[in-house]
Amino acid sequence: MTPEHIESICKHPDFQQLVRRKRLLNGTLTLAMMIIYYGFVLLVAFSPSTLGRSLSGGVTSVGMLVGVAIVLVSFALTGIYVYRANNVLDPLSDRVKQECMQ
């Protein structure tokens, strides 16, 4: 990449939008995952009895449901990311590549 290339890419509105959108998407999802997982870890450390409570009168505990939910939510978050990246971020990046690298 020549310095001219670098400059033309940095000034390209699609590149600026790509950077902004990518940061927003990655930041939000990372934060969500961190809050979910470390929230769970802190709950385990400080109040294990909350997780041990019965879910609906039976033996199955709240913690079991939370554990299964974390697995499903983790998968769902990666799904959201892949969907947004394929449909919103990739077209932006393709346009930048086409217009700046001729």
Partner 1 sequence: MNWTAIGMFLLFVLFTLGVTRWAARRTRSASDFYTAGGGLTGMQNGLAIAGDMISAASFLGISAMMFLNGYDGLLYALGVLAGWPIILFLIAERLRNLGKYTFADVVSYRLAQTPVRLTSAFGTLTVALMYLVAQMVGAGKLIELLFGISYLYAVMLVGVLMVFYVTYGGMLATTWVQIIKAVMLLLGTTFMAFMVLKHFGFSTEAMFASATAVHAKGTAIMAPGGLLSNPVDAISLGLGMMFGTAGLPHILMRFFTVSDAKEARKSVFYATGFIGYFYLLLIIVGFGAIVMVGTEPAYRDASGAIIGGGNMIAVHLAQAVGGNLFLGFISAVAFATILAVVAGLALSGASAVSHDLYACVIRKGQATEQEEMRVSRLATLGIGVLAIILGLMFESQNIAFLSGLVLAIAASVNFPVLFLSMFWKGLTTRGAVMGSMSGLVSAIVLLVLSPAVWVNVMHHEQALFPYSNPALFSMSLAFFSAWLFSVTDATERAKQERGRYLAQFIRSMTGIGAAGAAKH
SS3 1: coil
What are the φ and ψ backbone dihedral angles of 61, each rounded to 5 degrees?
-95, 165
Contact 63, 26 (CB under 8 A): no
Binding mask 59-88 for partner 1 (x = CB under 8 A): xxx-xx--xx-xxx-xx-xxx-xx--xx--
Least distance (Å) from partner 1 to the CB of residue 73?
9
Q: How far apart are CA 101 and CA 9, in angstroms?
A: 9
Q: What does residue 90 show for φ and ψ, rounded to 5 degrees?
A: -60, -45
Q: Which residues in this chain contact partner 1 in the complex, by CB under 8 A?
A: 1, 6, 9-10, 15, 18-19, 22, 26, 29-30, 33-34, 36-38, 40-42, 44-46, 48-49, 51-52, 58-61, 63-64, 67-68, 70-72, 74-75, 77-79, 81-82, 85-86, 90, 93, 96-97, 100-101
